[in-house]
Each structure stands twice: as C-alpha cells, then as structure tokens.
Structure 1
Amino acid sequence: MGEEIKRPQFGNRLLENVDEVFKHNAWDNVQWDSEQEKAAQEKIKLNSHITFTEDTLKDLDINADKHWDEFYDIHQNRFFKDRHWLFTEFPELAPDYNSAPCRVYPNGETNETKIPNNTSPASKRFIFEIGCGVGNTIFPILQYSQDPNLFVYGCDFSSKAVKIMKENELYDTKRCEVFVLDATNQDWDVPFEENSVDIIVLIFVLSAIDPTKMPGVIQNIFKYLKPGGLVVFRDYGQYDLAQLRFKKGRCISENFYARGDKTMVYFFTQEEISSLFKKAGFLEEQNLIDRRLQVNRGKKLTMYRIWIQAKYRKPLQ
C-alpha cells in the first residue's frame, strides 16, 4: 500500500493584521464588526424602496426565461468561470478525485459526508444540476470524476444556455444529458424517475427564483431524490457585496432585486434556507456562512463576499 497523500487544507488564510490586507487576493472566514454590520444594514435600507410598476414586476416574473436567454445571447459561455472549487466545498460530487484541498471552517466543521448504507461503489450514480447554465459545474464534474457509473443530468430554463452547452466539445451524451426545464413548474418533465437521483446540485440558482415559488422547487427536489440522497447548496447571503451595490429602484421585495439586464437575484439568511429545506422533510447536515474578503491588489479595493453553503439529506425512511 502506498502512503496516503495528505491533501492541503483550504480556508486557513486568515487576516490577522489588517495592514497586510493587500498581501493576498483573498482572505477566508472574515468576521464583521458591529460597525460594518450596521453600515450594511443602512445600505440595504436605502436600496430597498420598491418603485417598480405592477406591469414591470409581471414582466420580470413571466419572462424570466427570455431575460436569461438574452443574457446568454450576449455573454455566450464567457461570463461564468468553470467551478473547479466545487470539490473543495462538495467532495461528494467527485469522490474519486482526491487532489482538491480539504475545506477548513472556523467552527471546526469538516466537509466529510457520511454515505448512506443504501449505496455501493459499483452502483449507477446520478447527479442532477438545476440551473446548469452553460456547463460550468457539470463539465468539471465529468472532468475530475472518472467513475464509469456516473451519469449527470442538468436543466436550465434558458433554452439558449442549453443550446450553448450542447455545442461544447466537452458535452458527452454517454455521460450527461441536459434539457430545458422551468423548475418553478408544479410538475417536472424530466428523463428520470422519482426517488432515483443521488445528488441534486443548487449552485447560485435558487436566488434567481421568486421567493414565493421556492418551496415548490424544494418539494420537487425532495420527490426526485432517492432516500438517503443529498442536496448541495451554495448561494448569495444577505449583505453580500452584490446586494450592497444595488442602487435605489432595483428592489422587487425584501432582499429580492432585479439587475439591469432584468435577471433577478435573492439574498438569503441561514434561517431561511434551514426553514425551506426542513419544511420539505430534509435533514440538515450543513448550513454555514462563508465570508470571503476578495482583494483587488492593483486598485487597492476590498470586496466582502457572503455566501451560504448547505447540505440537506433526504431521510432513508
């Protein structure tokens, strides 16, 4: 037996001396003081005044797919970077890939997940990503996992995004299938059975959905996951830089905004995520705030990012 390779730890870059802030491009687990929190609350209060007309609000909702089509028409596959950090945050997505650094959290939590006893290494494994876009999550999964039993499904409600993904040379119909789906529909038209998916991926996608429609999405996720299946979730947290940057007149409802291109974004609290999933019947395995300080060393700018990361398990019974 060869010696086990110890993976490097990720999450240890802590800013202990503010004078060194421009020494690196990013700092992990950055805590806010009360003044910073208060300043963020004031900014949110300023940009939360709702000025949209009923007709505009209706357009944002009814034509959400068209607005995302226009987004991908403009940006094609150039806007989002491939998410190679996925396996640090969610090692379950490619368990046979052991070169990603281990994630370290300030409260001592680990990213290790207990595999339920209804799976075996040789069985067929299905991953389903909701809001797959142009493949920035699916392609890295296929690239880093060589498991012949893995098959990845993806959906997006932008037909343009699905078309762009299918034209990518990395798209392999033997290993993945993507299709158009509005996940807010009550009934899903999907190419797999209920209780059949091992992992469902929600990465920066639930935030694009009207908050009133989120419970229905979570209920359908529960329906299609197999007993013991896992949801991995990462999305915008309240007071993230993106929320603080909104100007007056972009607010749809509390913590919910329309960007200039008419795509929408919601900013979550941990409690909201916990409530959404637990009410649908899920067991909570992880729910944490990832506070990252990103630095533009050239322009001497600091940018505080806040993301919520979570894992929810469908009970075996």
Structure 2
Amino acid sequence: MRATQAPTIPVPPSYSHLHKPTASITTVGRSRRHSHPTALKYLDHKRGSHSEDHYQRNATKYWDNFYKRHQDKFFKDRHYLEKDWRCFFAEDDVYPNRKVVFEVGCGSGSTLFPLMAAFANLYVHACDLSPHAIALVKSNVNFMEDKVNAFVSDVTNEDLCDKIDPFSVDVVTLVFMLSAVSPRKMALILENIRRVIKPNGYVLFRDYAVGDFAQVNVFQCILTSTMALGSDRPFLLMRD
C-alpha cells in the first residue's frame, strides 16, 4: 500500500559530529571578491537568453556528448562521502538488513562505486540522463548486476516507479545534480523521488551555494578555459 503523505526527512543527532569543510571564511571571501563579479556578469548575459531553453531541451544530447568525450575521467571519485555520510549508509538497529540506495544523476559512477566499496551491503539504483554515462557504469570493473540497477531516465518527467518499486528506497542521493537542472523542474524531481522513498527515508544532497568556494573555483575554470566553453559541456558551470 502506498503512503498517503510525503515521507519526512529526519536528520539524526549523529550528523553533527561529521566532518566539516576546512576552507576558511577568509579564503572563500577573498576568492569571491576577485572572481564572482565576473561569473555573475557571465551568467547575467546567459540568463533569459534562448540558449538556456535550448540546452535544457537538448540536455540528453549534450550530456551524452560530454561523457563520450571525457568518459569516466572528468569527475573524481567522491571518497569523502564515506566519512561525511557514514551514519546514513552503515547498518544499524533501525535498518539491520541491506539498505536500498537511489542515486539520481549517477554520471559515470563517481559517487556510486566509492559508496559500494565502503558499504558492501548496499543495493543501489542509479540513473542518469545520458545513455553513455549508464554504459560507463555498466562497463566499470566494479559493477555487479546483483547489486546495481543502472538505467537511463529523465527524472523531471519519467515516472520512477516504472523502474523502482514504490516506497522501497532507504536513502536517495543527489550529488551536484539539482544545480544541473532548471529550478523550474526541481519540484518535479522531488515529487518523483517521493514516490519511491520509504516513509522516514533520507534525501541527501550536496551542491553549490551561491558564492561558495566550490562554485567560485568552477567559475574560474569556465571563464579561463576555452575548452570549458565548448559546445559539448554547456552545463559545466552547474556541476562539479
């Protein structure tokens, strides 16, 4: 039976003891003063133009081209998540059996495979807009069919219940994913996720904040690299 209410997203007290970023406020502020106005000028030029709608309409093609060019070499494996999010994936008294995880926007597996290496008892659903990204996941030496359900999906308009049993997921991860889609579609993604997550399940996301250290660094890369402005990676400024 399906739940009648959206699941709550509790944060356990143990989360307060997790690793905290080491970048100082002074460093972030200095970087922001030097580079952020330029980045904003660039974004202001793009905002509202036809290019945004064009890239959103053709997102599958552009992301597929991105992964065909860079394969699994662009995004580094996110081993830090083992430390940051351990309390959500480790076995406990509440979830003593295998936990089910759903990674939205898995790319070539830079989050998926480090988590599986750290927590061997996970079962992971993983989806991405790019067919080539999913092919990279399935061709990875660490891919196991009995532990990973990898599939192509546009979570903004495709029903996830066609691929995942309703209310069966313990933890959903969105790592630098929401910033890669239009804000107009974010609510649709979360509503889609609501249909597959268990009541009292967890939705974990990691992303940019305006002017934070990671975003400023990415802007600097984009604005100083001709390759970053290539037609095959229009959303790079939105991802890690």
Q: TM-score, normalised by structure 1?
A: 0.59
Alignment partner of 1:60 out of 55, 59, 71: 55
Equivalent-residue separation in structure 2 for 1:266 and 1:190 (angstroms): 31
Task: Indicate yes or no: 2:77 matched with 1:82.
Answer: yes
Task: Indicate yes or no: 2:96 matched with 1:121.
Answer: yes
Deviation at 1:50, TM superposition (A): 2.1
**SS of 2:44's equivalent?**
coil
Task: Indicate yes or no: 2:120 matched with 1:146.
Answer: yes
Alignment partner of 1:32 out of 26, 30, 35: 26
Equivalent-residue separation in structure 2 for 1:153 and 1:35 (angstroms): 38
Q: Which residue of 2 aligns with 1:275?
A: none
Judge conservation of contact 1:126–1:198 (CA < 8 Å) in 2.
Answer: yes
Q: Structure 2 matches for 1:198-213, cutoff 5 A?
A: 198-213=170-185
Equivalent-residue separation in structure 2 for 1:233 and 1:44 (angstroms): 24
Equivalent-residue separation in structure 1 for 2:107 and 2:25 (angstroms): 32
**SS of 1:48's equivalent?**
helix
Equivalent-residue separation in structure 2 for 1:164 and 1:35 (angstroms): 38
The total of aligned residue pairs comes to 214
Q: Identify if the C-alpha distance between structure 1 residues 30 and 196 changes in structure 2 by more than 3 Å, giving closer, same or farther.
A: same
Answer 1 or 2: which has greater strand percent: 1
Q: Which residue of 2 aligns with 1:242?
A: 218
**SS of 2:204's equivalent?**
strand
**SS of 1:194's equivalent?**
coil
Deviation at 1:34, TM superposition (A): 10
C-alpha distance after superposition, 1:70-113 (max 9, x if no partner) = 111111112222211111111135415xxxxxxxxxxxxxxxxx
Q: Which range is displaced more, 158-167 or 57-66?
A: 57-66
Q: Identify if the C-alpha distance between structure 1 residues 259 and 183 changes in structure 2 by more than 3 Å, giving closer, same or farther.
A: farther
Judge conservation of contact 1:65–1:157 (CA < 8 Å) in 2.
Answer: yes
C-alpha distance after superposition, 1:106-163 (max 9, x if no partner) = xxxxxxxxx7x8x3313x421000011111211122212232xx31110001000001
Gaps of 5+ in 2: 1-17
Judge conservation of contact 1:139–1:170 (CA < 8 Å) in 2.
Answer: yes
Q: Identify if the C-alpha distance between structure 1 residues 44 and 80 changes in structure 2 by more than 3 Å, giving closer, same or farther.
A: closer
Task: Indicate yes or no: 2:104 matched with 1:130.
Answer: yes
Task: Indicate yes or no: 2:71 matched with 1:95.
Answer: no
Task: Indicate yes or no: 2:168 matched with 1:196.
Answer: yes
Deviation at 1:55, TM superposition (A): 4.8
Equivalent-residue separation in structure 1 for 2:133 and 2:178 (angstroms): 17
Which residue identity does 1:81 align to in structure 2? K
Alignment partner of 1:264 out of 223, 235, 238: 235
Which residue identity does 2:144 align to in structure 1? D
Deviation at 1:40, TM superposition (A): 5.0
Deviation at 1:167, TM superposition (A): 1.3
Deviation at 1:164, TM superposition (A): 1.3
Equivalent-residue separation in structure 2 for 1:35 and 1:59 (angstroms): 34
Deviation at 1:183, TM superposition (A): 1.2
Q: Which has the larger radius of gyration?
A: 1
Q: Identify if the C-alpha distance between structure 1 residues 216 and 31 changes in structure 2 by more than 3 Å, giving closer, same or farther.
A: same
Q: Identify if the C-alpha distance between structure 1 residues 58 and 10 changes in structure 2 by more than 3 Å, giving closer, same or farther.
A: closer
C-alpha distance after superposition, 1:43-89 (max 9, x if no partner) = 34432332589553332111111111111111111222221111111
Equivalent-residue separation in structure 2 for 1:31 and 1:55 (angstroms): 36
Q: TM-score, normalised by structure 2?
A: 0.76
Answer 1 or 2: which has greater helix percent: 2
